Homo-oligomer: A and B are copies of this chain.
Amino acid sequence: MSGSGSTTIEQHEFSNGLVLLAEDMPGVRSAAFSLLLPAGAAFETAEGLNVGCGAATMVAEWITRGAGSRDSRQLLTSLDNLGVMHSESAQTLHTTLSAATLGSNLEAALEIFADMVLRPWCEEREVEPIRALCLQNLRSLEDDPGTKVIYELRRRHFPEPWGRPSPGTPEGIANLSAADLRAFRQAHYRPNGAILGVAGAIDWPRLRDSVGRLFGDWEPRPQPRLCEQPAGPRRDHITRETQQIQIALAHPVATVDSVDYYRARAAVAILGGYSSARLFTEVREKRGLCYSVYASYESQRERAAMLCYAGTSADRAQQTLEVMLGELARLAREGVEADELEMMRAGLKSSLIMAQESSMSRSGALASDWYFLGRVRPIEEIAAALDALTPESVSDYARSFGATDHLTILTLGPAPLTCPAAV
């Protein structure tokens, strides 16, 4: 069995601040890239800008509507002609442009994306169709309560603007002008703070030169200032006539750059990250309370959270919430077992190795590692950190889950549940 250990990771920082990271994957014919722009929905609130909620999403669509020498149709056609699968979307922290194609088409695809980033037409007449689209998207979110509750959970758990939902709000989208959108793009589509991860069939010197040529004259812009507002409320209910009650919890955990990172990941995984994890066993399997239940880890640079989710019928929702809270309390009180830690390790290592085999997933991991750590972790480093965990060290970390005053609980459905009070 040959390994994928023979890849090399290259990096280069251009003078305008753009960071390029690349991994040549032997035996792979595809190539993928992820470009993280520091232009997520949180930056809609930047000092001196403060545009409506939804600007990041509208701009991510606007830049595809004609750029460089190509109009909207020619641009999409050119990407399709190169067999490029692509997406352009805003999240809370970043606007992410990503693409996958054959290695031989990588450079041509990057050229089109450079036009979108540096030379979008941003025509006024495109604003109304884009506004209509984004309002449709918000309506479809109303028909998708499981996704909506997680957006609303983040909004309440993280201090504003770090929980700002990227799809925007109806009022925000309705009131954004072309001038607002241009101002947003000008301020935040900047190379300082941008990270381009590329993986697959690549030729490093050539890639570095191409990226330099394509993105070299991109002008840096000042780092925006954001004004942070307190999070909350910690307990809330959204009334909707849904069939199921959606239950969502969030609790603070260690960030990716913290010394506690691997302990936090292990604790979250043991609670609800694999098929025999505690939440799954107690909520789904033993009691049949709901079909899907999980806990996941989600990090920003300066804060991170464990998110837990379950959706169930009204008559089972109170019990489901209580079992979830009970498992959180038990994790804090009793810690984790050696065999659970082994299982968590096996799962994380196996998914790491599998992710290592996909150019798309690797390009995203390169960019994300750089964002969090300013470097890319070799897979061996991650494996060693997982190996160093002990039941005692993880149990010790899990004690932090006992403090329910930092817990955010949000439900969505016809009627609220009874929650433990927030301190």
- The interface of chain A, by Cβ under 8 A from chain B, is 1-4, 26-30, 65, 72-73, 76-77, 79-86, 100-105, 128-137, 139-140, 142-146, 201, 241-244, 274-277, 281, 284-292, 311-313, 316, 339, 342-343, 346-351, 353-354, 356-359
Contact = CB atoms under 8 A, between A and B. Distances in A.
A350 B275 contact: no
Contacts of A80: 274-277, 343, 346-347
A286 B312 CA distance: 40
Contact of A276 (B76, B140, B359): B76
Given A2-B26, A80-B274, 12 more contacts: A1-B103, A1-B104, A73-B281, A79-B275, A81-B342, A105-B350, A129-B286, A132-B288, A136-B291, A136-B313, A142-B243, A143-B145
Nearest to A241: B241
A1 B106 CA distance: 13
A143 B27 CA distance: 44
Given A81-B346, A136-B244, A343-B81, A27 B27 contact: yes
B76 A347 contact: no
A137 B129 CA distance: 36
A17 to B, nearest CB: 30
Contact of A140 (B73, B140, B146): B146
B353 A102 contact: yes
A365 to B, nearest CB: 16
Of A81, A104, A281, A286, chain B has the most CB atoms within 10 Å of the CB of A81
A143 B356 CA distance: 35
B77 A29 contact: no
A350 B4 contact: no
20 contacts: A2-B29, A28-B357, A29-B357, A72-B285, A76-B276, A80-B275, A80-B277, A80-B346, A81-B346, A83-B348, A84-B350, A100-B354, A129-B286, A134-B291, A136-B289, A136-B290, A139-B313, A140-B291, A144-B146, A357-B357
Contacts of A313: 135-136, 139
A80 B345 CA distance: 9
B312 A136 contact: yes
A8 B211 CA distance: 37
Contact of A133 (B105, B284, B311, B349): B284
Contacts of A4: 27-29
A333 to B, nearest CB: 21
A260 to B, nearest CB: 24
A130 B291 CA distance: 9
Contact of A82 (B102, B287, B316, B346): B346
Nearest to A342: B81
A128 B285 CA distance: 11
A88 to B, nearest CB: 10
A286 B128 CA distance: 11
Contacts of A84: 350
A-B residue pairs, 8 tightest by C-beta? A83-B350, A129-B288, A132-B288, A76-B276, A27-B27, A83-B346, A142-B243, A137-B291
B139 A243 contact: yes
A302 B104 CA distance: 39
B83 A291 contact: no
A140 B347 contact: no
Contacts of A343: 77, 80-81
B102 A350 contact: yes
A290 B358 CA distance: 32
A177 to B, nearest CB: 17
Contacts of A353: 29-30, 102
B276 A73 contact: yes
A313 B135 CA distance: 9
Contacts of A292: 140
Contacts of A133: 284, 288, 290-291
